[in-house]
Amino acid sequence: MLENGEGVKEIMVFAMNDHNQKYLYPPEVKLSINQEQQTDYLEAVNYINLSGADACILEHEFGIFGGQSGVYILPLLHRLNIPLITTLHTILETPSYNERAILKEICKMSDKIVVMSHKAIRFLMEIYDVPKEKIVLIEHGVPDIHFDKQESRTEFKLNEKKLLLTFGFIGRNKGIETVINALPQIIEKHPEVLYIVLGKTHPNVLRHSGEEYRNYLQVQIKTLKLNEHVLLLNEFIDENELFKYLSACDIYITPYLSEAQITSGTLSYAMGAGCAVVSTPYWHAAELLAEDKGRHFDFNDSHGLSQVLNELLENPETLKEIQENAAEYGQNITWPKIGQKYTELITQVLSIHKEPSPKEENAIDPLLLPPFSLAHIKRLTDDTGIIQHAKFGIPNLKEGYCLDDNARALLMVCMTYKQKKDPLALEFMPIYLSYIHYMQNKDGTFRNFLSFNRNFLDEKGSEDSFGRTIWALGYLLGNAPNDAYYQTGKLVFFDAAPNFEKIKSIRGIANTMIGISHYLRTNASDDAMKQTLHRLSNILVCHYDQNQTENWAWFESLLAYDNGILPLALLHAAEVLEDDTISKVAFITMDFLTEHTLKDDYLSIIGNAAWYVKDKERSMFAQQPIDAEAMVLMYHQAYVLTGNRDFLKKLFTSFMWFLGENDMRMSLYDFETKGCCDGFENYGVNRNQGAESSLAYIISHLTVLQAYEESFQSEEIKILNTERLSLTSF
């Protein structure tokens, strides 16, 4: 809504194109959005923000917007700079995980939420945790169109008929067969009855099933010899023609098969036209037809329907009374009156809506973190190790185990025990460590994959998995809870050491460097290992020198996966070796990665679908938790090196990617299972919660807590130093 030069409010409409269909829109449609084209949503919000509009009204219905459960609408809403009012046409009582998460996020971003029934208010409060004061009841509106009943009946040549009517998109959930099965008992007493079903088959039904349902109805009509009493009009007519039919009908029927319909536009239209309505007691009808504004019959109950219809047809005074009650209600829901309610609501929202204040310093807020939990890790862990994959929150035993995840798990439990002294972490530590020991070859390399029945599935794992194992072992050697674990870790670490400088993969090198750095923090006199770290660091620096250009400050000609691990490794090495060249490259590449992933106050990870090749389009989808984890760890190490609190802000922003501050505006952390989803694709969140993603979340969570504690220790040291200076001066 915006104001033109004459002070008159105007409406501009943004329309949705489904399945790449193109439509001829009226002038008020300023822009159309292709349902499955996410960039269209971003172009739309930019248009809205620059248009001078006062407020935005979202008409929400599942199936309208693209991505899984309509997730594509979330980035648009998040970027809105004006008040948002959302009208909900469907509210599910038993939503899927994604449906609930998406609707909750929409409600959170909305200034007001409009619903059309009292049951909808209860659902929002009880199922979606929406505050009551945010919800407004405004009935479904209807056009202010009226026709003379007798003139309409004459035009349609229905003067000798009793007209029963159903209209709208046709599909199996409409229950039209219930009416057809009831007709023989009605026609026996009222042979003048004609039942018209007015409407085209729903486009989604056509797409998947063709005209199967309409053909089924035709067979039913023929079998019951009802050809003279049933008319299926496969047409889409305009509102004027529709209201002529409504004015001509004696009884309007909505025989829907399920109670789970919170709003029915066709029912509202029939009431607005003053029709006597007979309906199954789905949610909207149960509420709307109260106080003698209509009649009900049970779902799939043809006999009950015939009884109700015969009773009404035999009692014209009762029928007329119901029609009058419906017409009285209909006078209050015409579009002009509903429009006035929306105008008043917009005025109210604008009067209380505050301009977004400049964002405060994004310091770490531990209150935003979910309670720390190893529940999902416990679910994934058995006496062999941690299961690699999951189906949703359930371990997928078919996929077995891998070295990568057991190394990550060892790192995680070491961090957990160091920070929280959690007994469960201490219990799991020997399981993961023994897996690593079991997978080590005689030459110090490691196998990676093990089946659930403990059969080796490869001879030698990837260099990445080797590096991650050295990282975990190096951390263990610096933070072992007892000597037995230290000695085992040391044995495996040094058996692997001859392979450190044979690694070619730069991520394998980076992971190994981090492990060596952790080891050297408690073994600073090991000069040979320092030399190894220096040589590995120089390999990364050389890769940077060979690939960097004026506008590309990176180690490769593309940004691929686990990118933050590369600057992180150099930051660790810079701390241990105190080398300015290594430090310089670390910060240059970190800044480059920041420029391409941390903007608009949230983390936008390079998608693994196609990555980001230099001078080409970056990939948005297949964003994965290990990339967010690497960013959290990278900014933490930068803070450790510099004490610059700006890195704390970047660290926390990166962590919030897990909790919904991302391109999809959806949380990857599952508050029910305490696991983390495997990432998100172009359709929405990948709900599987494997070890890699869940460990990445927990390691990031622990790093945030550690950074928070360190930041306070830093402030306390500053205060103590200031006090000492004051005492010295005195």
Rounded-to-integer distance, Cα 629 and Cα 640, Å: 17
Query: Could you say which residues of the chain have pLDDT below 50?
Result: 4-8, 357-362, 716-730
Residues whose CB is less than 8 angstroms from the CB of residue 253 and which lie 6 or more positions away in sequence, other chains included: 164, 165, 166, 179, 195, 277, 278, 279, 305
pLDDT at 4: 47
Predicted pLDDT at 723 = 45
| Per-residue CA distances from 302 to 122, 177, 252, 307, 706 (Å) | 31, 9, 15, 9, 67
Site of tokens 């229950």: 175
Length of the chain (residues): 730
DSSP state of 451: -
By three-state DSSP, how is residue 399 classified?
helix
Residue 5 amino acid letter: G
Q: How far apart are CA 625 and CA 630, in angstroms?
A: 9
Cβ contacts of residue 281 below 8 Å, gap of 6+? 259, 296, 298, 299
Rg of the Cα atoms in the chain: 33
Q: Which residues contact 469 (CB under 8 A, 6 or more apart)?
A: 403, 407, 436, 446, 496, 515
Predicted local confidence at residue 326, as pLDDT: 92
Q: Looking at this protein, which amino acid is placed at residue 268?
A: S
pLDDT of residue 717: 43
**Enclosing H/E stretch for 316:** helix 316-330
**HEC string for 566-586:** HHHHHHHHHHHHCCHHHHHHH
**Quick check: 680 and 91 in contact, CB under 8 A?**
no
pLDDT the model gives residue 367: 75
pLDDT at 363: 63
Q: How many CB atoms lie within 10 A of CB 425?
A: 21
**Euclidean distance between CA atoms 467 and 501, whole angstroms:** 11
**φ and ψ at residue 257, rounded to 5 degrees:** -90, -10
What are the start-end ranges of the E strands in 210-333?
230-233, 251-254, 276-279, 294-296
What does the pLDDT read at residue 714?
54
List the structure tokens of 449: 């994959």
The secondary structure of residue 141, as a DSSP letter, is P
Q: Report which secondary-structure segment, H or E, holds 137.
A: strand 135-137
> Rounded to whole angstroms, how far apart are CA atoms 404 and 432?
11
What per-residue string of b and e applies to 141-160 under the rule 16 or more CB within 10 Å gives b? Answer: bbeebbbebeebbeebebee
Q: C-alpha 72: how far from its chain's center?
A: 8
Q: Identify whether the C-beta of residue 114 lies closer than 8 Å to the C-beta of residue 87.
A: yes
**Residue 178 CB partners (closer than 8 Å, separation 6+):** 255, 257, 280, 300, 301, 302, 305
Q: Which residues pair with 668 in a beta bridge?
A: none
Residue that has been written with the tokens 């199936």 in this structure: 63
Whole-number Å distance between alpha carbons of 448 and 331: 72
Helix intervals (H) in 195-238: 203-209, 212-223
Helices first, then strands: H and E counts in the chain: 26, 24
**pLDDT on residue 39:** 78
Helix axes 506-521, 565-577, angle to 10 degrees: 30
- Backbone phi, psi, residue 274, to 5°: 80, 30
Q: Which of 651, 639, 646, 687 is nearest to 667 (CA)?
A: 687
> Residue 527, Cβ neighbours under 10 Å: how many?
9
Rounded CA-CA distance 135/85 in Å is 10
Q: Rounded to whole angstroms, how far apart are CA atoms 416 and 318?
A: 73
Cα–chain center distance at 1: 28
Residue 366 CB: number of other CB atoms within 10 A?
Answer: 11
What are the structural domains, with CATH classification, of the chain?
A: 2-138 (3.40.50.2000), 149-333 (3.40.50.2000)
Burial class (CB in 10 A: 0-12, 13-18, 19+), 341: middle
Cα–Cα distance, 467 to 464 (Å, whole number):
5
Q: Roughly what angle, to the nearest 10 degrees, separates helices 176-187 and 302-314?
A: 50
- pLDDT at residue 354 in the model: 64
Q: What is the pLDDT of residues 206-235, one digit of tens each?
A: 878 889 999 999 999 999 999 999 999 998
Could you please report the per-residue DSSP string of 521-550? HS-TT-HHHHHHHHHHHHHHHHHHHHH-BT
Q: Which of 259, 298, 321, 267 minimizes the C-alpha distance to 123?
A: 259
Report helix, strand or coil for 201.
Answer: strand
How many CB atoms are located within 10 Å of the residue 190 CB?
17
